Amino acid sequence: MGVVNVTPDSFSDGGRWFTPGAAVAHGLELVEQGADLLDVGGESTRPGARRVAVDDELARVLPVIEQLVAHGATVSIDTTRAVVAQAAVERGASIINDVSGGLADDDMYGVVARTGAVYVAMHWRGHADVMDDLDDYDDVVTDVRRELAARVAALRAAGVRDEQVVLDPGLGFAKAGSSNWPLLARLPELVADGFPVLVGASRKRFLGHLLAGPEGEPAPPLARDRATAAVSALAAAAGAWCVRVHEVAGSADAVRVAAAWQGAHGSVTDDDELAVDEDARTGGSTR
């Protein structure tokens, strides 16, 4: 999943793709580099970010979605607002990627049920301006699984089918630092809960802290892509359905390596080898 930020204040790219033309061109470039999906967002969720008006969010994302879909791209809308999700699906988006898991808007699950769109429910405890204060867990993996299970129960109650649901452990959201690593190390436990899992580690703070220089200064976002690719390989090998990244080429290669690694583990039949080769040729989906 390639990230297309149509925002002036993204932590990772500083508004480079803020105009519709630039965002569409960037999205198509990500597809050429191996992205299977494009995640279009019009509101920054970086730590401390303030919310934007709903009309501004709509004006940012809808023209980009329409043009990307017209070019044949599979598009996800990155939003916490039901009205934005509805409008995006009407313009051709097939996935709703909600970092709040439905907790930010009571109408979101109704949109998901009515449209039949694939829905990514991320683990979330609060908006960007307060989320760092909510990094408090007994056991982060157990707590995240329990809270995501509550989201699944609410989705089912709203009429959303299980086959629509993807789960995301919410790296970096109410998880400022060390809380992220157990979620990655124990990712198979989340995969075992039976839903496709999306991993979004790309360029996040915990990677910057890992790569800090000798003076302790975190590596800047653009210097975190190689570490992101490493996470992509490990997440794919652990069974993740998809990885969400800003720099696609490196992670697409990493996913191909993971697919080949898995295919070569143990006894491999000719059919297995063909499947791995075909997966690599078609862009390295983690599915």
Contact assessment for residue 23 and residue 64, using Cβ atoms and an 8 Å cutoff: yes
Q: Name which of 85, 72, 74, 83 is nearest 41 in CA terms.
A: 85
Task: Using CA atoms of 111, 112, 116, 120 in order, give the dihedral in degrees to the nearest 10.
Answer: 150
Told to judge if 175 belongs to the known catalytic residues of this protein, a careful annotator would answer no
Phi, psi of 118 (to 5 degrees): -65, 140
Catalytic choice (186, 205, 224, 244): 244
Strand 118-122 to strand 165-168: parallel, antiparallel, or no bridges (unpaired)?
parallel
Contact assessment for residue 85 and residue 41, using Cβ atoms and an 8 Å cutoff: no
CB atoms within 10 A of CB 212: 11
Q: Which two tokens stand for residue 81?
A: 């607002």
Catalytic choice (175, 204, 205, 224): 204
Identity of the residue numbered 220: P
Told to judge if 244 belongs to the known catalytic residues of this protein, a careful annotator would answer yes
Active site residues: 204, 244
